[in-house]
Structure 1
Amino acid sequence: MTERPDALLLAITDWDPTPWLDRFRRLLPDRAIVTGEDSFDPASIRYAAAWKHRPGSLAGLPNLEAIFSLGAGVDHLVGDPGLPSAPILRVVDRDLTERMSEYVVLHCLMHLRKGWTYAQRQARGIWEDDDDQPAAREVRVGIMGLGVLGGDAACKLKVMGFDVAGWSRSRRRLDGIATYAGEAELDAFLSRTDILVVLLPLTPETRGVLNAGLFGRLARDGRLGGPILINAGRGGLQVEADILAALREGTLKAATLDVFETEPLPASSLLWSHPAVQVTPHNAAMSDPDAIASAIAGQIRRHEAGEAFVNAVDPGRGY
């Protein structure tokens, strides 16, 4: 049993907790750092840092003051009906943001310059050029989700010359970029979009939003020969059967997917072998564990010095 006050609980599944224990013990040497496998007094836990914790495992901590997500998403937390009422704090890390923007810009450029087409031709030894090579300014990219990640990606795509717009549930402003908000403006946003980049959080309202109905509302008059989907948000946003059907029917021309309904992507999935689909293994924006742990330790220190927490999640919205 630990009797140290102000302890931090690591509630982690899917990852080895040992490196996280080492990081937090180094950064917060004045307090106990425990895992759910340890024996500890529930009243000693003041903070929890979680990633895909077991539902209900954070209940019964009477002195809990904050729950930190160890990754970019918080759907693993807000989806727990037994979660305590303590503030949920998400990761906002410059390194993660920049990595996501690199991924988005890379794949927009790959579709613009037909990089995947040429890779397939190289594999078959085919020397063949395409006459139709639009400039970035002729291609309309729509960013769905204008939080920190979406806003940064939108600005960097604009620098590359793309015609960029963004959509979010509530109104956001970005200098020099057209923004749309809410259901009332979603059709206008989709109808001017050639490449749809999705960086939405996963909430009850957004689950399954990437479906046949949405794909059919994308622009049909673009320079790329059909709409293209890039999803680097959450796998629960997409209906994979609808993506495959849209590709088969020509409603979508291509898709780049970093996230999936089931992860790892099952070997039986048709997405693996589809010639118009690029699969990446949920690594669009790999978090830097040292940076995340340092940011959480900084939040704790500032909170205990009387400052307010930052990057709090609205439980009602789920982000």
Structure 2
Amino acid sequence: MTIPAKPVFWRDSRLSHVELRKVADGRQVRYAPHSHKQWSIGAITEGQSTFHYRNDRYRVGAGDLVFMNPGWVHDCNPIDNQAWAYYMMHLDTVWLTKLRFTAGLLPTPHWQDLPTAVLSTGDWHDRYCNVAACLLDASRALLVKQTVLAEFLSDLMHELAKQPIGPDHQAPASLKKLAGYLDSQATEDVSLDVLCKRSGYSAGYLIRAFKQHFGLTPHAYLINRRIQLGQGELRCGIPIAEVALNAGFADQPHFQRTFKRLVAATPNEYRISSIDDEIDTARSQHPGQHAVDCD
């Protein structure tokens, strides 16, 4: 029996605005609906899968790129246990906003969602895969990685700016305020009664309206935020048991089960970067220049 390859997570503290994941056998990877703080871009490299993005569902395959705005709920899973493989890249929105603004693609230096969900153009897919391979290559110089990534994303942002504008998905101000409250209380026990009082909505209406605009119930939204907090601490090397408690979970097993369901990897798999040796080498060559982003 062949043991499936574990997912590869690439991170480099010198490029703290980007994280890359490589999955060679997606049959073993199943996601519950979730969202990210970052803007994300995936490339299907083999096979096919289903991509559920907000209220839309796409069948995507090798050669397709998929895009996810920060906070937009999605999942991507195998079709009938068929083999598929992919890359997934997460990009810091502050960094990407600056790139878009300086390129003249935003009127102000504030994030704006991108409407495109899927891009089925071989050239863009090939370029993305070349960027991913460059980032994963420990022999490539830092400047080369920075240049290849910035050139690709600058060109891609111009391409996506030409795509048709989709429907407005902005939530009402009252729900945005409620989501902000959940963000600030992510590690606390928040009751539905409190949410109803803060919003003025009945319980039933609140749950329906919140899920309509954010893709998750208030409770699922809170859990998703806790996992995001946990990811940030795992990137900093904090022990898993401590991360679980810091993120608001009752115990480590509960955190691990939930993490696996939303991230499709164990906390330990996520914590271990594929370039630990490369970073250690870089640190020894340039001590004091590699502060870790623990956001």
Report the TM-score, using the length of structure 1 for normalisation.
0.28
Report the TM-score, using the length of structure 2 for normalisation.
0.29
Greater helix content:
2
Q: Which has the higher relative contact order, 1 or 2, with Cα contacts under 8 A spaced 6 or more apart?
A: 2
Larger radius of gyration: 1
